[in-house]
Chain A
Amino acid sequence: MSSVGRWAELVVGPFRSSWRAGVGWTIAFVLIVLSTVAFWPAFKGSTALAAAFQALPKGMIEAFGLQDFASPAGYLRGGLYELIVPLMFAAAGVLFANSATAAEEDAGRLELFLAQPVTRRAFLTARTLAISCWLGVLAIVVLASQLASDAAFDLEIADDRIISTIVLCALLGQFYAGLAIALAGVLGRPGLVLSVGLGLALVGYLVAALFPLSDVLAPWRQISPWAWALGGDPLVNAAEPWRYAALAGPALVLALVGIAAFERRDVRSA
């Protein structure tokens, strides 16, 4: 059999064990998008809500993306794309990466596959591709759900703004998946991959959301990948190209670090 067949097996193999998780994430994304957009008609043009938010501190409004909540972009930002959707993408990235790498290694299930005529580099590269594919599928699911529910509930927003925002959220997920692959490649311990990966995803959000509340910390907001992804308010403004590169580049580098480390260390047994 050609090396194409071997590569196909290496990439497709992880899908067999993760399709249930993929279906779960798909349902979760569809439900969260649909249920949020379904309430748009109630908030559309609401002046009472805008007045209620005016009573909150300005920093808090910005931290939770609640500014201009009665507009389509403001509603989607506050309801979905400031926290929930990017956090779900980050969590999905870490969880997919962990289950395809460190969790499998810790359970001793890599042993039989790594004893076959494949390199560790090819093995982990293929798994990285499979993880990226899942995040790509989820991005398409979110986009389709968003466009369908926008039409159904009369939420008017430019398609390119939506596409750009969802792509940035998915790339944020790729960044944290890359981080998880790096941790898995270096350590191979699922507990650490999950706790550090998910912990840093949450810290990234808090840095991006809360640092602007302090004059001292505000300039440091830019250390957060969340700020690179969503700092330019992509639902309102066209995202600069560097934002995509700032997420995709480190995601790739982190995955390569993980692959290089995995090639050099012992494979853990059950």
Chain B
Amino acid sequence: MSVSSALGAGPDGELPALQISGLVKDYGRVHAVQGIDLEVRRGEVFGFLGPNGAGKTTTIRCILDLLRPTAGRIEVLGLDPRRDGVAVRARIAYVPGELRLPERQTGRQLVGSIARLRGGLDASRARELAERLGLDLSRRMRELSSGNRRKVALLLAFLSNAELLVLDEPTNGLDPLMQHEFLRLVREEREAGRTIFLSSHVLSEVQRAADRVAVLRAGRIVASGTVDELRGRARQRVDVWFSNKPPTEELAALPGLEAQLVEGRHFAALLSGPIQPLLEILARNPVVSMLVEEPDLEEAFLDLYQAAS
């Protein structure tokens, strides 16, 4: 059986998992989301990055039809969440960022309750997930730590067999071991053909899990692409030790190179853009050694923010 037929994708299997065009959401005078366009392909892990207050949760709540957009269009698996809300939510699993669960219910009761609303429960899968997450389902929500409550929500999401998992800050409160287990579960879901929309402000998590990323700032997407593309846009730190005095005038004229340090024969700079022009200058000058640091996503992220602001 193919992945798409296993997931019941049917004739709409070629449609994107999520398509957002011109999404705007205002709360009175507050412009929480100011025209977002993005597309999430089927079967990918899509990282939705941004600091707190960037508009990530507002966007997600519009996807689930908990909020009504001021303008714009959302399609989830080819369906309109407003018009076809029940059909859309039957194919989505959601982990809220601000997690509030019924205090007096046990994990098992909550799993049963959500399973009845979703139309069924795979009890053995629930046990397996509880074991993997180290979760005691017999305890009441009010007795659980925030991390364990998060595990309950993750269990519900991974138990659902939904085609699209929308996870808002899913590792908040999880210890590093559980974060690792979470990433394993995400990879397994992707291998099973499911799509994961992973909203987070934790860069390392997105860096490790996501195929593509959109970076949100103040309600706008300021960058999107693969993790490698994003990293490629970041400035690289370059350290060069010349045999003689560095050719500072020639280097200063190079577009995209911002000198940070000139000390004796040591020249350090931040480089944005291709490295080839710099290499051509270096080739004309005797160089003792050179160090180019690989930019990580965090650097790319901060650069994007500085550029956007």
CB 8 Å contact bits of A94-107 with B (1 = contact, 0 = none): 00000000000001
Tell me the number of A-to-B contacts counted with CB atoms below 8 Å.
81
How many Å lie between the Cα of A109 and that of B149 in the bound state? 13
How many Å lie between the Cα of A221 and that of B153 in the bound state? 53
Check B206 for interface membership: any CB of A closer than 8 A.
no
Q: Is the CB of A116 within 8 A of B117?
A: yes
CB 8 Å contact bits of A1-16 with B (1 = contact, 0 = none): 1000110111001001
Q: Is the CB of A118 within 8 A of B117?
A: yes
How many Å lie between the Cα of A1 and that of B119 in the bound state? 4
How many Å lie between the Cα of A86 and that of B68 in the bound state? 40
CB 8 Å contact bits of B92-115 with A (1 = contact, 0 = none): 101010111110110001000110
The one of B86, B98, B100, B104 in contact with A117, judged by C-beta atoms closer than 8 angstroms, is: B86
B interface residues, tally (CB under 8 Å): 31
How many Å lie between the Cα of A126 and that of B156 in the bound state? 23
Q: Is the CB of B117 within 8 A of A269?
A: no
List the B residue with the shortest CB-CB distance to A13.
Answer: B113
Q: Is the CB of B98 within 8 A of A108?
A: yes
Check A55 for interface membership: any CB of B closer than 8 A.
no
Residues of B with C-beta under 8 A to A9: 113, 116-117
Check B237 for interface membership: any CB of A closer than 8 A.
no
Q: Is the CB of B66 within 8 A of A112?
A: no
Assess A117 versus B68: contact at CB under 8 Å? Given A17-B104, A270-B98. no
Check A39 for interface membership: any CB of B closer than 8 A.
no
CB 8 Å contact bits of B141-155 with A (1 = contact, 0 = none): 000000000000100
Check A115 for interface membership: any CB of B closer than 8 A.
yes
Check A265 for interface membership: any CB of B closer than 8 A.
yes
List the B residue with the shortest CB-CB distance to A20.
Answer: B104
Check A114 for interface membership: any CB of B closer than 8 A.
yes
Residues of A with C-beta under 8 A to B89: 115-118
How many Å lie between the Cα of A266 and that of B65 in the bound state? 8
List the B residue with the shortest CB-CB distance to A2.
Answer: B119
Q: Is the CB of A267 within 8 A of B100?
A: no
Q: Is the CB of A1 within 8 A of B120?
A: yes
Assess A112 versus B94: contact at CB under 8 Å? Given A1-B119, A6-B117, A265-B68. yes
Check B215 for interface membership: any CB of A closer than 8 A.
no
Q: Is the CB of A5 within 8 A of B66?
A: no
Check B67 for interface membership: any CB of A closer than 8 A.
yes
Assess A270 versus B100: contact at CB under 8 Å? Given A114-B66, A115-B92, A117-B87. yes
Check A113 for interface membership: any CB of B closer than 8 A.
yes
Check B61 for interface membership: any CB of A closer than 8 A.
yes
Residues of A with C-beta under 8 A to B86: 117-119
How many Å lie between the Cα of A6 and that of B156 in the bound state? 17
List the B residue with the shortest CB-CB distance to A17.
Answer: B102
Query: Chain A interface (Cβ within 8 Å of chain B)?
Result: 1, 5-6, 8-10, 13, 16-17, 107-109, 111-119, 264-267, 269-270
A-B contact list, 12 entries, CB within 8 Å: A9-B116, A17-B105, A112-B94, A112-B99, A112-B153, A113-B114, A115-B64, A116-B114, A117-B118, A119-B86, A266-B66, A270-B100
Query: Chain B interface (Cβ within 8 Å of chain A)?
Result: 57, 61, 64, 66-68, 85-87, 89-90, 92, 94, 96, 98-102, 104-105, 109, 113-114, 116-120, 153, 156
A sample of 7 more A-B contacts (CB under 8 A), given A112-B153, A117-B87, A118-B117, is A9-B116, A16-B104, A17-B104, A117-B86, A119-B86, A264-B68, A266-B66
